[in-house]
């Protein structure tokens, strides 16, 4: 199949992709109908049978600017049984399927990265001084989120960005910056797949060191909560799964990463205009949230008062590059310590906002909210949630304090900026309210109760 023939593949698949895309975990527009799918760019990376096709498609859903997505497709005349689940559709005498499940085809991606190849506008490169072993075979990570990741052997992990935004990925940029100053709390960047979109560079994939034998922060924290709730009347420091020492180490790691980011990319102090802009943005997010979730009206006065206080914060407020979407699901516990992953920032935010300097307290507030979630989501669906409410609150408070203690050892005590920290927590909780209302209504009380607790406003029961 020639490159010209390859370009026609997406056109022939357009109707199929309209139905197939919303079924994918990484597709962001599930709440809107797909009107049309068109090819922006299609590249044949390997000829013959099977064939690897790289495509960027534009998805029209009635928005002023359609989203662009990266597809990695395989074409075969005969699909073996182990690839049956990856089927997309039949196309003439060949089958189109998701190539990420085919190690025979994904091996080519690693080959191209090792070679530093250029293929029809796509650039595959490794970091300076890095030698890659192209013999490693891949497997996709099962828990696919907004992107797709392939693990090669026990050595590498390739993240393929699905929803594309022109510009260098913040994840790649910050990994490179942190590696440049010797940060020990990241996986080393090893290579990247890059191209062009709308006349600007775009990051399509990022290869990093794979860290085996790691534990997910969320899984560790929730296991600790389970241990506590299984022993009625016990305090968090009395059960075998006490998480506080790990929370302290995690705070130290996050503080170190913030310090390393400031060292690598610089920092500045926020002026009165910056704080006013921040408060205005918080109010705007609350405006939008109230349109979607009427229950927020009960807390509007308290929330707006907290956001207005941001304008009055005195003293220096450091501004620098941050993680931007930090929570327990974005950290891994390796045998040597905590590692931060996914520096892409909040996926729904514009790239310009995600790469702009911000207060490190935004990351701290996000992690504090995550401790609260780890504790209180266990009460969802309980017949008598008040039975465990006190224990959950004590667990969250103990680990939030331990995290802040660890952070303070290397980057200043975040609790000294209580007004700003609480505003970030409330801003995050407003986001959570909208998310839960749309996706998990049963979890909506978690952020609503947190808002009530932080503002000291109203009923904080879980059965509201």
Spatial separation of the C-alpha atoms in residues 51 and 73, rounded to whole Å: 8
Q: What mean pLDDT is predicted for residues 319-337? A: 97
Spatial separation of the C-alpha atoms in residues 117 and 125, rounded to whole Å: 7
Spatial separation of the C-alpha atoms in residues 6 and 91, rounded to whole Å: 12
Question: What does the pLDDT look like over 254-266, one tens digit per residue?
Answer: 999 999 999 999 9
Task: Kindly give, in sequence order, each residue whose CB lies less than 8 Å from that of residue 413, ignoring residues fewer than 6 positions away.
Answer: 404, 407
pLDDT at 61: 95
Spatial separation of the C-alpha atoms in residues 418 and 51, rounded to whole Å: 57
Structure tokens at 347: 């996926």
Q: Which domains does the chain have, with CATH numbers?
A: 3-209 (no CATH), 215-455 (3.90.1200.10)
pLDDT at 312: 93
Helices (H), 116-243: 170-180, 217-229
Question: What does the pLDDT look like over 148-190, one tens digit per residue?
Answer: 999 999 999 999 999 999 989 999 999 999 999 999 999 999 9
Reply yes or no on whether the pLDDT at 37 is more than 90. Answer: yes
456 vs 320, which has greater pLDDT?
320
Spatial separation of the C-alpha atoms in residues 62 and 422, rounded to whole Å: 37
E strand intervals along 237-328: 267-269, 318-320
378 and 388 Cβ atoms separated by less than 8 Å: yes
Alpha carbon distances (Å) from 398 to 179, 225, 236, 389: 32, 12, 8, 14
Percent of the chain with pLDDT over 90: 81
Burial 147-166 (b: 16+ CB within 10 A, else e): bbbbbbeebbbbbbbbbbbe
pLDDT at 458: 52
Q: What mean pLDDT is predicted for residues 137-144? A: 82
pLDDT at 382: 77
Alpha carbon distances (Å) from 32 to 60, 88, 309: 10, 21, 37
Spatial separation of the C-alpha atoms in residues 51 and 148, rounded to whole Å: 20
Spatial separation of the C-alpha atoms in residues 130 and 191, rounded to whole Å: 8
E strand intervals along 307-439: 318-320, 331-333, 338-340
Spatial separation of the C-alpha atoms in residues 161 and 147, rounded to whole Å: 5
384 vs 208, which has greater pLDDT?
208
208 vs 462, which has greater pLDDT?
208
The three-state secondary structure class of 254 is: helix
Question: What does the pLDDT look like over 40-54, one tens digit per residue?
Answer: 999 999 878 999 999
pLDDT at 6: 60
Question: What does the pLDDT look like over 428-460, one tens digit per residue?
Answer: 999 999 999 988 999 999 999 999 999 986 544
Question: What does the pLDDT look like over 69-127, one tens digit per residue?
Answer: 999 999 999 989 999 999 999 998 899 999 999 999 999 999 999 999 999 999 999 99
Reply yes or no on whether the pLDDT at 135 is more than 60. Answer: yes
pLDDT at 432: 96
E strand intervals along 317-373: 318-320, 331-333, 338-340
39 and 60 Cβ atoms separated by less than 8 Å: no
Q: Is the dihedral of CA 274, 276, 279, 281 positive or negative?
A: negative
Reply yes or no on whether the pLDDT at 461 is more than 50. Answer: no
Please provide the average confidence, as pLDDT, over all residues in the chain.
Answer: 92
Alpha carbon distances (Å) from 383 to 83, 101, 224, 379: 43, 42, 21, 9
End-to-end CA distance of the chain: 61
Q: What mean pLDDT is predicted for residues 291-317? A: 95
The helix-helix angle for 418-439 and 361-376 (nearest 10°) equals 50
72 and 160 Cβ atoms separated by less than 8 Å: yes
Spatial separation of the C-alpha atoms in residues 414 and 433, rounded to whole Å: 24
Q: Categorize the per-residue pLDDT at 8 as very low, low, confident or very high, splitting at 50, 70 and 90.
A: confident
> How far, in whole angstroms, is CA 213 from its chain's centroid?
21
**Burial category of 415 from C-beta neighbours within 10 Å (exposed 0-12, middle 13-18, buried 19 and up):** middle
H/E stretch holding 374 reads helix 361-376
267 and 318 Cβ atoms separated by less than 8 Å: yes
401 vs 230, which has greater pLDDT?
401
Reply yes or no on whether the pLDDT at 144 is more than 70. Answer: no
């Amino acid at each position: 199949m020639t490159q010209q023939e390859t370009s026609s593949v997406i056109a022939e698949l357009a109707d199929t992709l309209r139905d197939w895309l919303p079924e994918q975990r990484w597709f962001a527009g599930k709440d809107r109908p797909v009107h049309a799918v068109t090819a922006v760019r299609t590249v044949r990376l390997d000829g013959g049978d099977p064939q690897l096709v790289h495509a960027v498609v534009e998805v029209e859903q009635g928005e002023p600017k359609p989203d662009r997505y990266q597809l990695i497709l395989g074409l075969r005349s005969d699909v073996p049984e182990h690839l049956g689940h990856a089927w997309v559709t039949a196309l003439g005498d060949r089958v189109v399927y998701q190539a990420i499940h085919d190690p025979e085809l994904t091996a080519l991606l690693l080959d191209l990265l090792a070679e530093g190849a250029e293929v029809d506008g796509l650039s595959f490169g490794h970091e300076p001084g890095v030698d890659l072993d192209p013999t490693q075979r891949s497997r996709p990570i099962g828990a696919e989120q907004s992107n797709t990741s392939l693990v090669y052997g026990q050595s590498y992990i390739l993240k393929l960005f699905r929803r594309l935004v022109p510009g260098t990925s913040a994840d790649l940029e910050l990994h490179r910056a942190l590696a440049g100053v010797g940060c020990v709390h990241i996986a080393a960047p090893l290579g990247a797949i890059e191209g062009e979109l709308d006349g600007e560079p775009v990051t399509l994939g990022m290869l990093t060191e794979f860290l085996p034998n790691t534990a997910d922060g969320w899984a560790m924290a929730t296991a600790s909560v389970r241990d506590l709730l299984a022993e009625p009347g016990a305090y968090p420091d009395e059960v075998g799964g006490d998480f506080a020492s790990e929370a302290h180490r995690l705070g130290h790691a996050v503080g170190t990463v913030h310090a390393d980011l400031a060292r690598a990319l610089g920092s500045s102090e926020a002026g009165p205009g910056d704080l006013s802009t921040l408060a205005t943005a918080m109010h705007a997010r609350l405006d939008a949230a109230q349109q979607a979730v009427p229950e927020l009206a009960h807390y509007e006065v308290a929330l707006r008062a907290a956001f207005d206080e941001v304008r009055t914060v005195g003293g220096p407020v450091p501004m620098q590059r941050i993680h931007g979407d930090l929570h327990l699901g974005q950290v891994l516990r390796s045998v040597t310590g905590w590692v931060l992953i996914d520096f892409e920032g909040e996926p729904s935010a514009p790239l310009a906002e995600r790469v702009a300097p911000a207060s490190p307290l935004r990351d701290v507030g996000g992690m504090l909210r995550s401790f609260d979630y780890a504790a209180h989501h266990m009460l969802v669906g309980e017949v008598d949630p008040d039975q465990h409410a006190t224990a959950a609150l004590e667990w969250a408070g103990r680990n939030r304090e331990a995290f802040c203690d660890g952070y303070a050892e290397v980057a200043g005590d975040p609790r000294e900026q209580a007004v700003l920290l609480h505003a970030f927590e409330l801003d995050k909780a407003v986001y959570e309210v909208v998310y839960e209302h749309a996706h998990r209504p049963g979890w909506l009380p978690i952020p609503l109760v947190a808002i009530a607790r932080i503002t000291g406003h109203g009923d904080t029961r879980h059965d509201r």
